[in-house]
Structure 1
Amino acid sequence: MSKDITQSGAADAPLASELFHANVYKPNQGRIVRQLTALAIFVIVGLGCWRLYGFLPTLMENAILARSIAGVLLAAGLWFGFRVVNWPRFADFLIAVEAEMNKVTWPSKDELKRAAVVVIFTIFFLAITLFAFDVIWQFIFSTLRVTS
């Protein structure tokens, strides 16, 4: 009973209170999706700080201060990325996503090739059809002198 209350209470905790903990929420569940989500956040934060680091020296004369600002923001962003994937609400969502992805039946290589050929043929056929309609309507409108 107390375990249910603790888990439901943890799931309702706001993100601001979770930022100052170092624990990992349900560490054995949804690992792949959580790691990929954290990696995506880390890449976004890293690219943003790199861009900021390239831009700050034009605004500031002190290069050490510019590096320090970019470094502090990088560290804060990486910590935020780690904590947000361990925030109970978001972690439960990612765990559910991984569970649903495991239920998906993926096509075989042959089915994938056949489907790709069908899609490419359909797109090619529609492109030719739209081009033909465009040429026909352009001829009709120019014959009627609606367009020049």
Structure 2
Amino acid sequence: MQLYLYKKGQGYYTRLWGAIACFALAAIGCYRMYQILTGTTNNPWVYTIIPAAILAVITFCIYWLQNRPKVADFLITAESELKKVTWSSKDQIITSTIVVLAVVVILALLLGGIDVLFRLVFTVIGLYN
């Protein structure tokens, strides 16, 4: 049986990793359901088949949703836009991180100093004990 894939070959990685992420979330949820059902019933058919059936339905829904023209076109466009991104070099990231940390430290010291100053002023005028 040949599965139909809308615009096959386009948006491959976005579809693949999107499906893997959705499946992983569904599998975690179904495993949690399995754990809960195991504690509430002694029937192995109930606590095994129900989460497996739900996971199968979710998997089919993921496949069906990714073949919808609007969703598939969005994923294809998203992948093409990601290919245009220019990622920062290691040196740029290190420099930017140092600048951000320096600004955070300076602002923390400034706000701390202003807090001490206000506390001192309010203590002198008797509004703070």
Q: Quickly name the TM-score band, shorter chain normalised.
A: 0.7 to 0.9
Deviation at 1:79, TM superposition (A): 2.0
Deviation at 1:110, TM superposition (A): 1.5
Amino acid at match of 1:33: T
Number of aligned residues? 127
> Which residue pairs with 2:39 in the alignment?
58
How far apart, in 2, do the equivalents of 1:83 and 1:140 lie?
A: 67
143 and 23 in structure 1: CA distance in 2 versus 1, 3 angstrom threshold = farther
Deviation string 1:76-131 (CA, Å, 9 cap, x unpaired) is 11222222222211111111111111112222222222112111211222222222
How far apart, in 2, do the equivalents of 1:30 and 1:123 lie?
A: 40
Determine what percentage of the aligned residue pairs are the same residue.
Answer: 32
TM-score by length of 2: 0.85
> Which residue pairs with 2:110 in the alignment?
129
How far apart, in 2, do the equivalents of 1:67 and 1:145 lie?
A: 70
Deviation at 1:40, TM superposition (A): 1.1
Pair 1:68-2:68 in alignment: no
> Which residue pairs with 1:95 in the alignment?
76
Determine helix, strand or coil for the equivalent of 1:83: helix
RMSD: 1.8
> Which residue pairs with 2:29 in the alignment?
48
How far apart, in 2, do the equivalents of 1:147 and 1:58 lie?
A: 57
How far apart, in 2, do the equivalents of 1:142 and 1:79 lie?
A: 68
How far apart, in 2, do the equivalents of 1:80 and 1:147 lie?
A: 62
Deviation at 1:136, TM superposition (A): 2.3
Determine helix, strand or coil for the equivalent of 2:88: coil
How far apart, in 1, do the equivalents of 2:29 and 2:101 lie?
A: 37
Structure 1's unaligned 5+ residue stretches are 1-21
> Which residue pairs with 2:93 in the alignment?
112
Structure 2's unaligned 5+ residue stretches are none
